[in-house]
Amino acid sequence: MSTKTLTADVDYYDLLGVTYNSSLKEIQRAYRQKALRVHPDKNPSPDAAALFHALSQAHDVLSDPQAKLAYDDLVKARVAKKNKYAAMDAKRKAMKDDLDDRENAVKKQKMDEKMAEARLQAELERLRAEGARRRKEKEEELRKQMMNEPTSVAEDSTPTEHGELDCTLKVKWKRKRHTLDSADLESIFSVFGPVDSVAVSSKKQGSALVVFKTVVAAHAALTSMGTNPRLNSFESIDWAAGVEPAIVKKMNASPAAVSSAGADAATPAPSRPVFAAAATSSSSSSFFPSAPPSFASFGAAPSFPSFASAPPINDDYETMTLMKMRRAERDRLEKEIREKDAAEEERET
């Protein structure tokens, strides 16, 4: 033991090699044995004198009952302090372990959330793919079903004439709110199908005739009123003739009406344009009179597609099929939107 370690913190019991419960004789015997080994006269070590002095001090303290009692109290205080520090270290370690556990739990929760989100996205993709596949199968099934019902084609003997008015819509809007020209109207309505021509009225009230190249496109535009945001600027969209085309009426009559469209298409349309009679009724004040309409209020008459003859049976049948499929798709989308809104309202409540 060096002189640097001989401080007040030296353990006298350990220095003499005795215990707390050792008797006075045991303490004295231990002192004599160690004192002989470290006595400066017999030990040339430079620390011998300091060690001998420490042994003497330990012997004096532990041999005196009162001094021993005071020293024991000091030792107890030191042990209590050491235990306290050890407990604090254990508490800090426990706190650190708890903090590590919490951090690991948070990391695990985030990882679980990411995995759950990834699984949800995968399920949504799967549902979208399955929905698209089911829609395609239903459309194909509907097409096959309609194609496999040729026997009812000849049942309806009422001819279905396809004229220019069947493809023409009359649209109205407020000029004060919206300034629309023929190019704007063609751009808006071309999303529903090819537009043949547009005639804008010169009256103060915004109105125009939009002539599509197919009945399917005209029907799609009219039935999208109120659901397609592109049409929000219009007050009304109606058939130019004031009534639905015969092919649309037949389609709406019954689910099996599509199969009877072929017989109607066999009847040729009038060889002269439907609007030809308008030349004799230009004095009428109605924008669309009961007679074939006049376009006197428009800047230029629209260029209508040629309808010299009605489409063949298959074309008429396909037209009705396409209209039904578009209407079914629109109804499906509206139903999905309503269900989604209802689910969101239920979650909010």
**For residues 264-272, average pLDDT:** 39
Say which CATH topology domain 3-63 has: Helix Hairpins (1.10.287)
- Assigned CATH topology for domain 154-348: Alpha-Beta Plaits (3.30.70)
Token pair belonging to 316: 């008429």
More confident residue, 78 or 6: 78
| Residue type present at position 234 | F
What is the reported pLDDT for 168? 92
Q: pLDDT-based confidence at 205, cuts 50/70/90?
A: confident
Report the chain's terminal Cα–Cα distance, integer Å.
80
- The residue extents of the domains of the chain are 3-63, 154-348
CA atoms within 13 A on the CB side of 278: 20
313 half-sphere exposure, CB direction, 13 A CA radius: 10
Q: Are 164 and 305 in contact (CB under 8 A)?
A: yes
Cross-strand partners of 207: 172
DSSP state of 193: S
For residue 2, is pLDDT > 90?
A: no
Rounded average pLDDT over 311-330: 62
E strand or H helix that includes residue 14: helix 12-16
Per-residue model confidence as pLDDT tens digits over 134-146:
888 988 888 888 7
What is the reported pTM?
A: 0.35
Q: Are 212 and 221 in contact (CB under 8 A)?
A: yes
Task: Name the nearest CA neighbour of 209 among 269, 295, 130.
Answer: 295
**Rg (Cα) of the chain, in Å, rounded?**
51
Q: What three-state secondary structure class fits 6?
A: coil
Structure tokens at 272: 């002269």
Residue length of the chain: 349
Q: Helix 65-147 and helix 313-348: axis angle, to 10°? A: 160
